[in-house]
Structure 1
Amino acid sequence: MAAKSKPNLPTATETAKPAQRPTAATPPAAVALLPATAGLNVLVFVSGAALMGLEIVGSRLLAPYFGNSVFVWGSLISLFLIALSLGYYIGGWLSDRRPSRVLLNSIVIVVAAMMFLIAATAAAVCDAVVRSGFGEKWGPFLAGAILFLAPSLGMGIVSPFAIRLAAQSVASVGRVAGTLYALSTLGSIAGTMITTFVLIPSFGATAILKGLAAALMLAAVATFPFASVGAAVRGGAVALVGLAACMWAIDDTRAAVPPGTTLVRELDTPYHHITVIDERTSGARQLKFDRFIESAIELAPPHRSKSLYTEYFHLALLPKPDVSRALFIGAGGGVGPRAFHAHDPAMEIDVVDIDQAVLDVARLDFYLEASPKIRTIAADGRMFVRNAPDGRYDCIVLDAFTIGGRIPFHLATREFFELCRRKLTRGGVFLMNVNSALRGDASPIFQSMYKTIDEAFPSVHAFALGLQYGLRDQSTNIILVAVNDDREITPQAWQDLAQQYSSTSYVDRQAVERIIADLVTELPDMAAAAIFTDDYAPIETMRFENR
């Protein structure tokens, strides 16, 4: 019998061959500026850099409307983590179904377009959120979600998608994943450092956003797998034209100057967006940090302060009329130091502000004299006080705020006030300006500051701007005055000291007598008020404005 023919069965070796996985290689006919693997690495690195650059500059976009509080940063960090979580999941799911390099690069191009859109719409979105009644707690989360959630989700897709494309086999997945996540992290570090230390001090937020978007777009186009050389030329040309159009069409966000005003100066710093504006009708000059007025003066000599609370700084000169050395923490427009210099030109005055540009503006635009008796120092207030000799100052004035009227928490603790007391001479005066109400739901900051200063000094006196007109529940400037000795200063004693006051500055005896009328003689119940320490100082979570 003829032998039966056997079917051709796979050998054991053939059976053991692993199934082939799709590779990261660009289709053979594709044309790209960089080889497939190098291009994928570049795309991952640039996406990581753009992601963190967007998060850092995002705080600058939100700050003019919601301040620079823990709520802003908590919202941004939460939103970006949410977006990354969703992006990682979607990127893994999508890459298993459509492991296409064209799709990945297209997603990155869309993300770059979204970032250009942020540059064009951020101000309108934030303004709409504020107008809708969302405050500083939930407003930044909503505005941040509208602006940043979609593009950051898109950048979250990149890493898992790239891993799927780059892995040649199961055996290489670990190495590929480790390499690409390392590149993404290095990109994030570069984006954070460059944005923080190079871009923000040199450019506005809109220009930075456009630069980040352009870098992302160029990376995506340069590594795009075009079907032919002609397609690459045409695609590159379209991308360059689109980039140029976006860069030209989207103007940098500049200060809105109302009719009847003149923009004197505008600049960005690592801490503020500073504008100096003259109001021709009222003859006043304003210093604004973002959209908040920090100082205002009359343009006509002697350039009196239009911010009335700064006249209350002269309360320090009542219990200590022979002040020879004074320290101002927080410069603003230099109004307080200038008035103290006019009061006594022989007084040595140190003006400390964390932002050198603020000190420069005080001299250039707000008439702070270039006197050897007035020393300006760019430094953190607490660090400067810590390094100052004990018993150096007769007077310390604390008038420091972050964007939106928040006191930096490290300048509002018992430990800091005790440090200030050590730097004062016997009988020296510590004076602090706070924005708060005396009682009601906008009073927690005043009450906590009063109790905290009272822990560090023998006694505290409060003067509330407008108290003589019945303002108690409304938010206002409250000046807290503490003296470094054990004497008791009664309301009558304050009046007597005001009668003895004389000055060559525009803050004359009549002004001081008016100020004395705002002495708080009936304190509210402060039993529930917290004493702030370096360990616990929730000042950023406290309301200081009336609803």
Structure 2
Amino acid sequence: MLEIAIFVCGAVVMIFELVGSRVLGPYFGTSIFVWTSLIGIILGSLSLGYYFGGKLADKKPSFNNLSLIIFLSAIFIGLTTFIKDFLLLILQANISDVRLSTVLATVALFLPASILLGMVSPYAAKLKLSSLSTSGSTIGNLYALSTAGSIFGTFLSGFYLIPHFGTNKLLIILSITLIIVSLALSARRLLSIKLSICVVLIIGWTTLNGISTLFEKNSFIDLDTAYNRIWIYDRLDTETNKTVKTIGINNENHSSMFLDSDELVNEYTKYYHLAKHFNPNFEKTLMLGGAGYSYPKDFLLNYPEATIDVVEIDPKVTELAKEYFRLKENPRLTIYHEDGRVYLNKTQKKYDVIFGDAFASRYSVPYQLTTIEAVQKKFKVLNDEGIVILNIISSIEGESGRFLRAEYATYKDIFPQVYLFPVRAPNDGSKRQNVMLVALKSEVEQPELFSNADPTLNEYLQHLWKKEIVNDTPILTDDHAPVDYYISKAI
């Protein structure tokens, strides 16, 4: 039984760490800062656990004490389920530095249980040792079992548990699993207490299931996929006073849809129609990022002679768009479920327009799509008159605009013409807003480039940023793209 306990605790450590990204993601994104905090704090916690576990084992080794250690770790993991959202909301609201907030959140939610799980291996080694002559092989075998458990837990959680159970249920599963292991190691007099707490957690599981069902009936969906935590809910659009359905990915609104209309909700998505101005004869287009497929649906309605390929990394997002956002099969729409950079690397297709909407996050963006190597790939797959229209959430000036300026400089190094169109406040460079970056493959600058007979398009063109863009950031490369650092300055 001791070997099983070691294996299970090793697995739980890694599952707990991986599910941690889904706990923190909706509030702080999934940037390098989140992963650094999780890995660093949990490794530090395990180190403390090894130290204290060894000390405690030398004083009073017993199966009851080991059972209690595992039991307490189960309680702390179970508590995480019920306190995490309250705590994370407080940290998000009161601490602007994402690095500090993620460290504090990780310490509060993951440190206690991780210390206790770290205590298991040295304590179990003490119980297992019967002779100094075989101490090396005994300790080696136990730590090999723990590591094997961690490897097993890593693959099990990433490939199956997180996509199928989600965050809350998985935390309860971990807690109940540890309690069962604890029960198997404990004396009879402790069984009733532990069984009672196990019953409470099972009731908590049932309650979570009931709440989840209730949310679904009230137009609120909360689920985990292999890539994201997704919320779907109805809300009131403050600009139109109409009800809209929204898909939130990692706690950020990515797409919205009017319940009674096909009109675009988010103002920035309307700026993709600038493609009609900059390349009026376009036929083949590519969009990186699907979410609720707001613009692809609008595109299919407005351009009956054109086609659009959409690259969306998460197949579950597409499935939800079909179920909740009126996305229908269309011979002019082709969907690829893979990373946008991977698609650019291998596609042999040529396009007239590339739309980019994969950066719709305040906390993290897929850096592999920001670099000069990615921009070169876009340039290569475009036809001679091809254009890129890219949505970036940023200010233009100041410290908070460094990511946008870095991306602008990166595009300028490849494309002969690059322009910015701030959506909400065209003359305010300090305001964080949707900024549309337009890059033209053509070197010919036409005098009528920023006027159009269509009054709507002409209005968008008047948002052209005409002030100087400071060249104070290096070009982003695959080797060095401090995107998360730049974005952290804007939060």
So what's the TM-score if we normalise by structure 1? 0.84
User: 1:402-450 CA deviation, whole Å, 9 max, x = no partner?
Assistant: 7645320000000110011111111111121111111012110110010
Tell me the residue number matched to 1:363.
322
Q: Per-residue deviation at 1:66?
A: 0.7
User: 1:362-414 CA deviation, whole Å, 9 max, x = no partner?
Assistant: 23322333211111121111111122115x11111111037645320000000
Q: Is the 8 A contact 1:441 1:543 kept in 2?
A: no
SS in 2 for 1:479: strand
Give the counterpart of 2:432 among 475, 484, 497: 475
SS in 1 for 2:470: coil
Give the paired residue count.
484
Tell me the residue number matched to 1:319.
278
Task: Give structure 1 stretches of 5+ with no counterpart.
Answer: 1-38, 500-508
User: 1:102-140 CA deviation, whole Å, 9 max, x = no partner?
Assistant: 111111111111111111111111112122224311111
- 2:25 is aligned with 1:85: no
- 2:114 is aligned with 1:152: yes
Could you tell me how far apart the structure 2 residues matched to 1:82 and 1:75 are? 10
Q: Per-residue deviation at 1:238?
A: 4.5
More helix as a share of residues? 2
Q: Per-residue deviation at 1:235?
A: 4.6
Q: Is the 8 A contact 1:45 1:183 kept in 2?
A: yes
Could you tell me how far apart the structure 2 residues matched to 1:63 and 1:404 are? 12
SS in 2 for 1:317: helix
Could you tell me how far apart the structure 2 residues matched to 1:214 and 1:286 are? 34
Could you tell me how far apart the structure 2 residues matched to 1:477 and 1:425 are? 27
Task: Give structure 2 stretches of 5+ with no counterpart.
Answer: none
Tell me the residue number matched to 1:282.
242
SS in 2 for 1:305: coil
Amino acid across the alignment from 1:157: M
Could you tell me how far apart the structure 2 residues matched to 1:246 and 1:404 are? 35
Q: How does 1:256-275 map to 2 (within 5 A)?
A: 262-263=218-219, 265-275=221-231
- 2:207 is aligned with 1:248: no
Runs of 4+ in 1 over 4 A off after TM superposition: 234-238, 253-258, 402-405, 544-547
Tell me the residue number matched to 1:395.
353
Q: How does 1:122-137 map to 2 (within 5 A)?
A: 122-137=84-99
Q: Per-residue deviation at 1:96?
A: 0.8
* TM-aligned CA distance change 1:196 to 1:218, over 3 Å: same
Amino acid across the alignment from 1:77: I
Could you tell me how far apart the structure 1 residues matched to 2:221 and 2:124 are? 47
Give the counterpart of 2:287 among 313, 319, 328: 328
Q: How does 1:456-495 map to 2 (within 5 A)?
A: 456-468=414-426, 470-490=427-447, 492-495=448-451
Q: How does 1:427-466 map to 2 (within 5 A)?
A: 427-466=385-424
User: 1:483-536 CA deviation, whole Å, 9 max, x = no partner?
Assistant: 11211145x4220xx22xxxxxxxxx332121111101112322x212000100
Could you tell me how far apart the structure 1 residues matched to 2:204 and 2:425 are? 51
Q: Per-residue deviation at 1:167?
A: 1.2
- 2:481 is aligned with 1:521: no
* TM-aligned CA distance change 1:257 to 1:143, over 3 Å: farther
* TM-aligned CA distance change 1:402 to 1:86, over 3 Å: farther
Could you tell me how far apart the structure 2 residues matched to 1:334 and 1:175 are? 57
User: 1:165-184 CA deviation, whole Å, 9 max, x = no partner?
Assistant: 11112111100011000000
Amino acid across the alignment from 2:355: V
Deviates more, 1:329-338 or 1:533-542: 329-338
User: 1:177-216 CA deviation, whole Å, 9 max, x = no partner?
Assistant: 1100000001101111111111111112010001011111
Q: Is the 8 A contact 2:362 2:487 kept in 1?
A: no
The alignment-based identity, stated in percent, is 30
Amino acid across the alignment from 1:248: I
Q: Is the 8 A contact 1:435 1:477 kept in 2?
A: yes
CA RMSD of aligned residues (A): 2.1
Q: Is the 8 A contact 2:277 2:457 kept in 1?
A: no
Could you tell me how far apart the structure 2 residues matched to 1:519 and 1:257 are? 47
SS in 1 for 2:456: helix
User: 1:322-373 CA deviation, whole Å, 9 max, x = no partner?
Assistant: 1111100000211121222122122111111100111222233223332111
Tell me the residue number matched to 2:487.
543
Tell me the residue number matched to 2:260.
300
